[in-house]
């Protein structure tokens, strides 16, 4: 994804998880239950990682979370449980697969960035999420599209990086 070159002191931790569903179960409710159980496990890991980062960086002035695809769901769930988080970035969220309705009300401002040619998420789901979040008062959730990007930003990593750099610089200048 390239390096984001910003002159800031940032402490971060990457948690990399992958979901592989080999075959659909006959009962979709069972499939959803298994996915929910996995999600709870990942949420616990993310919360433990944030606890550790805060212990190691007790003098921090900002706390951001970010996630990609399924990770954006986990980041948003963590955001709802941790009041110290003051910004977020969700890259390629999947509101057509995962329920983001818990973001009403969303406790802080942030960025949702997606590929305009996302083959996994129809644009109407992103538009609906944007409408729901933009109606909230006191926060600003920016939705940015990368015109030629697919879900994984293949061959458009530079555009993604530039958008992220611009947003992070703008938001960190406020602190």
- Largest separation between any pair of C-alpha atoms in the chain: 52
Residue 154 CA: distances (Å) to CA of 115, 118, 122: 10, 10, 17
Query: 40-86: per-residue pLDDT in tens?
Result: 677 778 888 888 888 888 777 888 999 999 999 999 999 999 999 99
31 pLDDT exceeds 50? no
pLDDT of residue 26: 54
Q: What is the CA radius of gyration of the chain?
A: 16
Using DSSP's 3-state secondary structure scheme, residue 76 falls into helix
Q: How far is the C-alpha of 100 from the C-alpha of 80, rounded, in Å?
A: 11
Q: Kindly report the backbone phi and psi dihedral angles of residue 170, in degrees, each rounded to the nearest multiple of 5, phi listed first.
A: -65, -45
Q: Count Cβ atoms below 10 Å from residue 63 Cβ, excluding itself.
A: 18
Under 8 Å between Cβ of 98 and 121: no
Query: 121-172: per-residue pLDDT in tens?
Result: 999 999 999 999 999 999 999 999 999 999 999 999 999 999 999 999 999 8
Q: Count Cβ atoms below 10 Å from residue 36 Cβ, excluding itself.
A: 10
Q: Considering the entire predicted model, what is its pTM? A: 0.79
Dig out the tokens for 124 from the structure: 């109407």
């Amino acid at each position: 994804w390239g390096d984001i070159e910003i002159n800031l002191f940032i402490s971060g931790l990457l948690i990399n998880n992958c979901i592989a569903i080999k075959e659909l179960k006959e009962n979709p409710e069972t499939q959803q239950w298994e996915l929910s159980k996995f999600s709870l496990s990942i949420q616990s890991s993310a919360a433990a990682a944030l606890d550790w980062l805060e212990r190691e960086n007790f003098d921090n002035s900002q706390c951001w979370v970010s996630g990609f695809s399924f990770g954006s769901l986990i980041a948003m769930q963590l955001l709802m449980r941790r009041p110290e988080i003051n910004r977020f970035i969700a890259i390629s969220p999947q509101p057509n697969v995962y329920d983001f309705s818990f973001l009403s009300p969303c406790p802080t401002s942030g960025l949702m960035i997606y590929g305009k040619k996302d083959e996994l998420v129809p644009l109407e789901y992103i538009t609906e999420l944007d409408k729901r979040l933009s109606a909230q008062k006191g926060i600003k959730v920016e939705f940015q599209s990368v015109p030629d990007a697919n879900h994984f930003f293949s061959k458009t990593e530079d555009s993604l990086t530039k958008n992220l750099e611009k947003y992070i610089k703008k938001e960190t200048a406020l602190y």
